[in-house]
Structure 1
């Protein structure tokens, strides 16, 4: 990790105990308020007691590690230029595999079958993290002052992507990034990682880069572009990047929650008024995929601003 980048202190990281979302009428509003503050100030928080067992997360990371360690000819079966492919392997400064993951039963037969436990272990994690994503998104929607069921049915039928990365071990003197600064095009991204390496732009500290330490058993939640649009800019999609480690390779699994490809996302009408005019045009995941094909220099979220 880049020693010049300060590490976020635990007191700066909002940690949400997911079980408290199910507690009494006094506890839940406090948790929802914490989520609101974290999304507004940092675009990021972490969750504990989220209901995904250590066995499920470790098995998913283990199967991905074994896949990434396969000979290149076995991974190149999934090497495509077309960003629309539902299963796609990419290799450059890192190895990456994208998997469409909902409904799991519709896609799992197209996933890698080597290692032999890949489909079972990633399928178990995909089902669990999707359930969790919808639960967290419900609390986030509530934190915006919207009805907790706002967009629920569309989100439950939406696109769920799993994107896993392996960042090779770096040399101690290297300043190369494993993944450059970007925001995610999702409502939220839930991140599982085998070690630290994530860095976020701290909106509260002159947009300084801060390293996010790994916390055993915790998952990271990142605000994505579509949540920024839905909130009419109240919540900001967090810029983040990855610094590889000189100690070992890093494997991470991002779970991206979206609506269906053609469904449009726009600022919630309840959050638009004379004092808060609409700040973003409507867009869809399909439009974003087309945008990627053109390789524009401007970021997609910037292109949506009115």
Structure 2
């Protein structure tokens, strides 16, 4: 097949499209009317802000807030997490600086391989494209594996800015400490006998992915999505962001996730939904664009060993609470996630019984 017939597989660079200042959007980004974004609904039950330092010291009211957050939202805003404001600022700065590099410099780390005909997860770029009719997200992304260290592809780790690698390593390590502490509390919420069983899923073979996201200013934000509705194929996800735009689905309505200075968004992944046999839900969320400014975020996905088979915990299955999910190897599930994203489907629906 001629190379020009493969061009639809190569996603445009959204940052460059935005910089061009066009009023009309390429049709590849315009979502159907029934999927168009709307303003988030105000909630009488706001997303809880949980103080991790108080939670770890045994504060009952903080534990109650976490339980409410996990049961009602699937996510919460974490403060008192112990990650220094300076490190959060450095992580946001090197992410922003990377996206501000010239396009030719960023493309040294492209996620397109094989003559730009194949898409790999790690690297800089956009969506995996499966069809010419696929609607694309208004964002550019940069995926990297940070754990386990032998799986790092250092050829894809930017040399500009020079501090990028060191800061990413320190930031993801501190986020892992936060994730492990939260997972111990999650185990208590669902009544697992072994409080460390979810933490144990983040063993030496578990994989931590970090995705840097840029959502450029959009001239017609009402016609696009920064990131389509989805849930995460992780055990737990930790997100640092600098602006509003994240929305979460609850009871058929979309709610804005507020931006609280110094707070990190922590959300459950599909793995917890499966292991808990549906007692807790992996929240469906999306990102909306805006016409005033760009949005930058850093998402750390803490996932289980790719070879681990994930299924409901036996102690959470009974006649009264029958098994609701099948068994699937984690690597197969993550692959299905990316295929499902391209089709605007949920991977978890494939394992429901």
TM-score (norm 1): 0.89
Is the Cα contact below 8 Å between 1:15 and 1:48 reproduced in 2? yes
1:179 Cα deviation from its structure 2 partner: 0.9
Q: Cα deviation per residue 1:43-78 (whole Å; 9 max; x = unaligned)?
A: 111111001111111111110111111112211222
> What residue in structure 2 maps to residue 121 of structure 1?
167
Partner SS for 1:127: helix
Q: In the aligned structure 1, how far is the partner of 2:95 from the partner of 2:147?
A: 19
Query: Which residue number corresponds to residue 191 of structure 1?
Result: 239
Q: Please list every run of 5 or more consecutive structure 1 residues that lacks an aligned counterpart in the other structure.
A: none
1:169 aligns with 2:203: no
Q: 2 CA distance for matches of 1:268 and 1:130?
A: 23
Residue 186 of structure 2 corresponds to residue 152 of structure 1: no
Q: How does 1:16-31 map to 2 (within 5 A)?
A: 16-24=50-58, 27-28=59-60, 30-31=61-62
Report what 2:40 is aligned to: 5
**Conserved in 2, the CA contact under 8 Å of 1:200 and 1:239?**
yes
Q: How far apart in 2 are the matches of 1:151 and 1:243?
A: 31
**2:110 maps to 1:79:** yes
Q: Structure 1 residue 136: deviation in Å?
A: 1.0
State the Cα distance separating 1:246 from its structure 2 match.
Answer: 2.1
Query: Do the aligned partners of residues 131 and 84 (structure 1) sit closer, same or farther apart at CA in structure 2, a change above 3 Å counting?
Result: farther
Counterparts of 2:56 and 2:268, CA distance in 1: 22
262, 265, 277: which one aligns with 1:217: 262
**1:8 shift after superposition:** 4.6
Q: Does residue 1:303 correspond to 2:350, yes or no?
A: yes
Following the alignment from structure 2 to structure 1, what is the Cα–Cα distance between the partners of residues 333 and 138?
23
CA RMSD of aligned residues (A): 2.2
Q: Which residue of 1 aligns with 2:326?
A: 281
Q: Secondary structure at the match of 1:160?
A: strand
Correspondence 1:127-142 to 2 at 5 A: 127-142=173-188
Q: Is 1:51 paired with 2:82?
A: yes
Q: Which whole-Å CA distance do the structure 1 matches of 2:228 and 2:344 have between them?
A: 14
Moved more, 89-98 or 207-216: 89-98
Provide closer, same or farther for how the CA distance between residues 214 and 140 of structure 1 changes in structure 2, counting only shifts above 3 A.
Answer: same
Distance 1:178 1:300 in 2: 20
Q: Alignment partner of 2:185: what SS?
A: helix
- Alpha carbons of structure 1 residues 7 and 254: separation in structure 2 relative to 1, 3 Å: farther
Q: Distance in 1 between matches of 2:41 and 2:171?
A: 32
Q: Comparing 60-69 with 99-108, which one deviates more in the overlay?
A: 99-108
How does 1:217-236 map onto structure 2 within 5 Å?
217-236=262-281
SS of the residue aligned with 2:152?
A: helix
State the number of aligned residues.
Answer: 297
